Amino acid sequence: MPTSPTEAEPEYDLAVIGAGPAGLAGAVTAEELGLSVCLLDSSPQPGGQFYRHPAPALRAARPEALHHDWPAFAALRDRLAAGTVRVRAAHHVWTVERLAGPDGEGRWRLHALAGADGGRPVRIRARALLLATGAAERQLPFPGWTLPGVVSAGGAQAMLKSGLVLPGRRVVVAGSGPLLLAVAATLVEAGAHVPLLVEASGYLDYARHPGVLAAAPGKLLEGAAHAAALLAHRVRPLTRHAITRVHGTSEGSGAEVRVNAVTVSALDRDWRPLPGSERRVACDAVAVGHGLVPHLDLATGLGCAVRTTPDGASALVLDAGQQTSVPGVWSAGETGGVGGARLARIEGELAALAIVSRLRGRPRATAARARRLARARRRLRAFAEAMAAVHAPGPGWSHWLEDTTEVCRCEEVTAGCVRAAVDGLGARDTRSVKLLTRAGMGWCQGRVCGGAVARLTGSPPGPDRRPLATPVTLAALAATPPDRPAPDPTAEPASDARTGPTAPTTDQPSADTGPTRSDTHRGDLP
Amino acid sequence: MRRRRRTPVERVLARPGPPFEITFDGRPLTALPGQSIAAVLWNAGVLAWRTTRVAGRPRGAFCGIGQCFDCLATVNGRPNQRACLLPAAPGDAVTTQKGDGRADLAD
Ligand SMILES: Cc1cc2nc3c(=O)[nH]c(=O)nc-3n(C[C@H](O)[C@H](O)[C@H](O)COP(=O)(O)OP(=O)(O)OC[C@H]3O[C@@H](n4cnc5c(N)ncnc54)[C@H](O)[C@@H]3O)c2cc1C
Ligand code: FES
């Protein structure tokens, strides 16, 4: 129910970007308190990362079998269905601009690409904006990580939850962070054998934050539930270790290409591998990830201030009501620092209360609710910071790289090349390394390698800065109405013509890259 | 005695519509309605369906959520399709993509 609908550009009180736990909670809370709300997500189904579930055509009667905490999602989904939130699935928001409203009050205009082929431009206006864009996985390269069968931990999880498939039968789960426990538990519940869970940090390090643990007992229970599932399936967690080599066949194609083992090494406190500690473990797939980092393209594009988290990532600076440094823009969930689904729900609800009170005055009988939520948030945020500190990548990780290890998967740039740019040519930041080596210039625009390249150059990984939150095709830009200036690629200091929207070259994904099936609702990027 | 482990499809009690066929480099593979091309390939034990532009190394799905572009495949003659996002449809012909996939078009 837009407040002043026009055919071309409906206006809502609130636009929520991201339909994960944070965005869902924010949208239903705001709508129940009387706001008109539009909820956009690039995925064809609401749920975000945590509540990813099988495509409807798979007709799963018990999707919860592969989920922990499904009832919380079911409750949000039911509230969504009962209300008037306008849900726009398969809408990827690629930029947001600020307009001067008729009443002198600012307005946000969202530009999205909609539909199966991501080619239909859509514009929406809103008085308030809630960014709930979640997180992306952090990847640290290691020898052999580009061999097919080595997949991201979240990716293995996502393929399983949405497509009901496994990458192999014996899957080693490796990297760092609590997501690995969840992924290993889901894999064994789905019938895979997980011979080993390799964690680079030590879980005992949590003991250095006893106050935080005592204050967030729910988090301990969550961990204990995963641990119990893992114990029941005899999964051994091996802490202070990392995969330092992947063995397999990379010849041929199709079914001949496989992983057959990994070498695992012990690490010192700085994550430097200890020579002589290697052991070989047979497996046919690897699921790997080194924690999560907030997904901030849209937020940094709007100029929202960021802080550095204890694990060296960038997260949004937020006030007590979840507002960013930009008035009128709120944020909830992983964007404020990675803290899990429960914290995301709490923050979404808190943000909605703050937005309602800004637009309508404080609703009656919500003060106690806000206080209760704020208390829970404080506890869980403290836990999140402790978690980030425990799993912060140690500076010695780069010692497991060989010169031939590919760092940038898209452009096939090796660690040796990056080192030569840093040591030999004096590159001191990601931008120089990128210009010298092409690392981060490929299809994924540095989404996968950016953090690792920054760490190798010795500069702390900065927040996401891409001119656009998604590769936008020329056709879509051409279809953008003329009163909208094309986004300014120079706003992105580390940008280059190839990553800009206007210069797709032959080896860039151009208009023909995305899912282009018009008879389905799947697919989210152009 | 060891019980047979249940498959993911069994775990969630999925009762999808009738399976259908797609091909990968000419070989028939069984797909379930709702699965992405990458899911169908994984299910058949195929993990690689592209070779890289520079070193010609095999690649398949990595991130599983449309972010990394590692899973590019040629589908029905069209190169650079993200297999992890594209839903499989009956009769789809998936072929190993070499490099940027343009050479495949030339011959
Ligand atoms: C790959 C992956 C797997 C994970 N698996 C688990 C798990 O199994 N268990 C667990 O406890 N935690 C998991 N997490 C952690 C997870 O991030 C949180 O638990 C929880 O989902 C956070 O909620 P959120 O609402 O902040 O973000 P998310 O759930 O990540 O939701 C963000 C949503 O925003 C959408 N979005 C982002 N940018 C745009 C845009 N520009 N336009 C439109 N939509 C956009 C995304 O499509 C997504 O649906 C996972 C994280 C990742 C990255
Ligand atoms: S697997 Fe990463 S984009 Fe498909």
Residue of B nearest to A506 (CA): B100
CATH fold of A139-290: FAD/NAD(P)-binding domain (3.50.50)
Where in chain A are all domains bearing CATH 3.50.50.60?
11-136+293-388, 139-290
Chain B interface includes A486 (CB < 8 A): no
Q: Cβ of A162 and B39 within 8 Å?
A: yes
| Delimiting residues of CATH 1.10.10 domain(s) in chain A | 401-467
pLDDT over 90 percentage in chain A:
54
The proportion of chain A whose per-residue pLDDT surpasses 70, expressed as a percent, equals: 79
Contact A169, A259 (CB under 8 A): no
Within 10 Å of residue A60's Cβ, how many Cβ atoms?
24
CA neighbor of A470 nearest in space, from A506, A438, A432, A514: A514
Between A430 and B47, the more confident residue is: B47
How confident is the model over A424-466, as pLDDT tens digits? 888 888 888 888 888 888 888 888 988 898 888 887 666 666 6
Distance CA B78, CA A347 (A): 43
Which of the listed residues B40, B46, B65, B86 should we mutate to test ligand 2's pocket, taking the one with most ligand atoms within 8 A of CB?
Answer: B65
List chain B domain ranges.
18-99
Compare CB distances from A507 to B27, B49, B53 and report the shortest one's residue.
B53
Inter-chain CB proximity B34 and A56 less than 8 Å: yes
Residue B63 has pLDDT above 80, yes or no: yes
Angle among Cα A513, A516, A517 to the nearest 5 degrees reads 155
- Which positions in chain B touch A56 (Cβ < 8 Å)? 34
Q: Ligand 1 centroid to B56 CA: how many Å?
A: 33
Torsion angle defined by CA atoms of residues B64, B105, A258 and A407, in that order, rounded to the nearest 10 degrees: -60
The CATH number that domain B18-99 falls under is: 3.10.20.440
Second-level CATH architecture of A11-136+293-388: 3-Layer(bba) Sandwich (3.50)
Q: Give the pLDDT of residue A232.
A: 72
Three-class SS state of B15: coil
Query: Is the beta carbon of A301 within 6 A of some atom in ligand 1?
Result: no
Backbone φ/ψ region at A53: left (φ over 0), alpha (ψ -120 to 50), beta: beta
What amino acid is encoded at B16 in this protein? P
Q: Which ligand is nearest to the CA of A156?
A: 1
Residues 6+ apart with CB under 8 A from B38: A159, A163, B60, B61, B64, B71, B83, B84
Indicate the burial class of A518 (C-beta count within 10 angstroms; 0-12, 13-18, 19 or more). exposed
Rounded to the nearest angstrom, the minimum Cα separation between A255 and chain B is 5
What does pLDDT average to over chain A?
Answer: 83
pLDDT at residue number A204: 65
Query: Between residues B51 and A227, which one has the greater pLDDT?
Result: B51
The angle at the Cα of A519, spanning A514 to A520, to the nearest 5 degrees, equals 65
Bigger pLDDT: A189 or A335? A335
Distance between CA atoms of A430 and A373, rounded to whole angstroms?
39
Q: What is the largest CA-CA distance in chain B?
A: 56
CB contact under 8 A, B52 and A191: no
pLDDT at A217: 60
Residue whose tokens read 């949590």: A206
Position A8 pLDDT exceeds 70: yes
- Residue A288 pLDDT > 60, yes or no? yes
**Is residue A513 predicted with pLDDT exceeding 50?**
no
Res. A290 pLDDT band, cuts 50 70 90: very high
Lowest mean pLDDT among A50-54, A185-189, A335-339, B17-21: A50-54
Give ligand 2 pocket residues (Cβ under 6 A): B 61-64, 66-71, 82, 84
Q: Backbone phi, then psi, for A293, in 5-degree steps?
A: -125, 140
Assembly ipTM: 0.92
CA A296 to chain centre: 9
Closest CA to A348 of A24, A64, A44, A125: A24
Q: How far is CA B61 from CA A42, A61, A197, B29, in A?
A: 19, 27, 21, 17
What gap in Å lies between CA A125 and CA A141, rounded to an integer?
41
Which CATH number among 1.20.58, 2.30.30, 1.10.10, 2.60.40 corresponds to the domain A401-467? 1.10.10
